[in-house]
Structures are given as C-alpha cells and as structure tokens.
Amino acid sequence: MPFSGENESKNLLTKLTNYAKNGKLYDSGLNSITDINEAVKVSCDLLGQNISGPVNLVNQGTITTKEITELMGISGEWYTQEEFKQNTVADRSVCTIRCAHPMMSDVRERLKLAIKQMELL
C-alpha cells in the first residue's frame, strides 16, 4: 500500500484520515507498505547504477492499520472482524514482504516523516 506526505486520494494516510472522519476503520493485521517517494528515488538510484531485476520496494518492517492511526494521532470507530465481514463483499488482504530492498528505510521512520509533511499542508 503506497503512502506519502501528500494529501491525495491514493495515499494510504489520506484514506485512513477520511475513513476515521466518515466511516469505520478496519485492522486486518500486519502489512508491508511503501513510501512511494522513497521507492521512486531508490528505483532511480538502481537504474543509475545499471542494476536490474526484481526488487521489493517496500519499507523495512511491517505495521498494522491501528499502529498507523496511532502514529497519526487520529481516532475513529473500528469494525470488529464480524462487522467487517457482514458489511463487505471481500476480505482485506494481508501482505508482508520480509525481503525489502536494503536501500529502503524503516517503515515507522518514513511514516513519521510523511505524517509530519502532511501536517504542514
């Protein structure tokens, strides 16, 4: 799931803010997420070094939705697992990638930076 310090519709942080204001949040468990700005920078660095092949451009570590909202200082109503299943057609995916590219930073550090950038907007 992509995130950044920009307030735009595809940003995970923007989505969580909107869900907290207008609906309910759901925590499906640990996920790997990507600071999209860092991923672009690392991609360009790799291309500049003529490095090719598959790479996992997710940030180091995993995090839950609940942890992200705590970092953001937002609160809202949360679905229970049963409520979520009753109100949706499909379950949420859980994806953790343990072999993130070593040039990608720690997920919590990048989230803190992105949250700070969003607060300045």
Q: What is the mean pLDDT of residues 16-41?
A: 95
* Band of pLDDT at residue 93, cut at 50, 70 and 90: confident
Q: Is residue 121 predicted with pLDDT exceeding 80?
A: no
- More confident of the two residues 120 and 5: 5
Confidence of residue 16 (pLDDT cuts 50, 70, 90): very high
- The whole-number pLDDT of residue 26 equals 94
Structure tokens at 44: 């360009």
Q: List the chain domain ranges.
A: 2-119
Token pair for residue 64? 């839950």
